[in-house]
Amino acid sequence: MWQLAWRQLQLDVVRTTLTATALAAVVAVLLVLQGFELGLYHQLNRTALDLDTELIALQPGVTNLLGARSSLPQLARAAVEAVDGVADAWPLTGIPVIYQQDNQKTPIYVFVYDIKGGPAHLATGHAVEQSRDIVIDRSLAQKYQLHVGDRFTIADFDFQIAGITTGHAALFMPFAYIGYDGMLDLFLESQLAPDLSTFPLLSFLLLDLDKGASAAQVAHRVEQQVPEVDVLSSAQLGHNSVALGRAMFGPVLGLLLSVAYVIGFLVVTLIMDADVRARRRNLVVLMALGFSATRLAGGGTAAVPAAVARRLSRRPAYCLGTGASD
C-alpha cells in the first residue's frame, strides 16, 4: 500500500508539490498563531519574574503590572520596611509614554528603579548610572536604528542610551529603564510637567525578606499593618498578568485559530475531493468488479475479494488479459 501511495505521488510531481505546499501553509499558519499566543503569555509572566523579588506591594485592587496604574503613598515605603520580616522595600515606578521619531510613534513602558527592578538581560552597554541615562529594549532599538550613546527623546526631554536589553517587552510595548533622578528631571523639564498629577511617583515596592522569614506570613502582616498596599508574590503577579492577556487577546486569538483549523479542514477536503474525482473512472471499474465502497475508502485493494475472484474466473480468457481467446 505504501509503495502504491509513493508511486502515486511520483506520478504527478506538480500536483504533489501543490498539495504539499497547501498543507504546509496551513500548518505554518497554525504554528505561527499558537506560537504568538504562547510568546505573549510568556512575556507577561516573565515581566513579573524578572523583578527578582519574593513579594511585591502595590495599590489595593491592582493585580498586575501593566493592565492598571498603581500609585502608592510616598510614606508607604517606610511603613512597609517597619513590618517585622521585611528587610528592605525597593521603590519601582511604571510610566506609560509615547516615543516619537520621524513621524513614527510607539507606546513604551518606562520603569523607574533605584536598586532592584532594573534591566535583567543587558545585551550591550550598562545599567543606569547617570540621571539622563536610559536603557531600552532591543526591539525598540532595531525599529528606530538606535545604538548605545544615541539620544533618546521623550516629550522633548533628552536621555542618552546607556544600554540595550533583550526580552523586555509585553502587550506590544517595549520597556525602557531610567533612574529616579531622571524621572524627576523628565517631570519638571519636559512637556509632561502640566500633567504631572496624572503620573505616579511610586507604583510598586519590591520587598526583600529577613533570612528565614515566611513570605506568606510577611505578606499577611504587611497588609494588616499597612492597609494602603496589597502584597502579591511575583508568581501570583505573573499569573494575574497572564490571565489579563488571556482575557484581552484570548477570544481574538481563539477565533483566528478556529478559522485556521476550518481553512485547514477545507483545504484537505478539497485536495481529497480532487484526488477522488481524478480517479473516479478507476474507482467505478473496481466497484463494478465487486469492490465495496468501504473497502476502496480504506485502501484495501491488495487482496481480491472472493466474490470478485469468482466473477473473474467465469470471464473469458481474453477479458482477463491473457491474450487467449475462445
For the segment 203-220, the average pLDDT, to the nearest whole number, is: 91
pLDDT of 317 > 80? The answer is no
What is the rounded average pLDDT for all residues in the chain? 82
Q: Around 175, how many Cα atoms within 13 Å sit in the side-chain half-sphere?
A: 28
pLDDT of 43 > 90? The answer is no
The DSSP H or E segment spanning 139 is helix 138-144
Nearest alpha carbon to residue 278 among 290, 270, 268, 288: 270
pLDDT for the residue 174: 92
Of 196-200, 261-265, 291-295, 312-316, where does mean pLDDT reach its minimum?
312-316
Taking the C-alpha atoms of residue 230 and residue 218, their distance in angstroms, rounded to an integer, is 12
Nearest alpha carbon to residue 29 among 249, 253, 251, 242: 253
pLDDT for the residue 68: 80
What band does 170 get if pLDDT is binned at 50, 70 and 90?
confident
pLDDT of 134 > 90? The answer is yes
Taking the C-alpha atoms of residue 112 and residue 176, their distance in angstroms, rounded to an integer, is 9
pLDDT of 302 > 60? The answer is no
pLDDT for the residue 296: 64
Selected residue with higher pLDDT from 45 and 164: 164
For the segment 266-284, the average pLDDT, to the nearest whole number, is: 74
pLDDT of 160 > 90? The answer is yes
pLDDT for the residue 314: 58
